[in-house]
């Protein structure tokens, strides 16, 4: 996302429709937006770890962002994945992409 400067935020929805909870992510950390890939479950992993996906020949951990923020919630089926940079690349499952904003307000 070349146009995503350090002062911008990517707003994503954790749910669908009017019940969708918006979350702002620093756009400078976003590397890509993608459809949800095929995931390989990890036995014994915490519920927030949706699984592993292949990305450029490497295993990418994919987290269910709604479950990460509220482990008791039963989130709707995610439709998009945000690939973000943390200590390394990580996939974040979200219900949808709202947009890019300067002030998450």
- Kindly list the domain boundaries of the chain, sorted by start residue: 9-101
User: Measured between alpha carbons, how far is 101 from 105 in angstroms, rounded to an integer?
Assistant: 9
Q: Which of the two residues, 5 and 25, has the higher pLDDT score?
A: 25
**pLDDT-based confidence at residue 21 (cuts at 50, 70, 90):** confident
Q: Is the pLDDT of residue 1 over 70?
A: no
The β-bridge relationship of strands 30-35 and 49-55 is unpaired
> Looking at the domain that runs over 9-101, which CATH code has it been given?
2.40.50.180
- Write the pLDDT tens digit of every residue in 65-100: 988 888 887 766 888 999 999 999 999 999 999 999
């Amino acid at each position: 996302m070349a146009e995503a400067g350090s002062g911008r935020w990517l707003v994503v929805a954790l749910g669908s429709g009017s019940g969708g909870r918006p979350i702002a992510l620093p756009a400078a950390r976003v590397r890509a937006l993608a459809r949800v890939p095929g995931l390989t479950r990890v036995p014994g992993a915490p519920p927030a770890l949706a699984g592993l996906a292949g990305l450029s020949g490497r295993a990418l951990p994919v987290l269910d962002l709604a479950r990460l923020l509220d482990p008791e919630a039963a989130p709707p089926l995610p439709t998009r994945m945000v690939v973000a940079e943390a200590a390394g690349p990580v996939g974040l499952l979200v219900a949808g992409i709202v947009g890019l904003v300067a002030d998450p307000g």
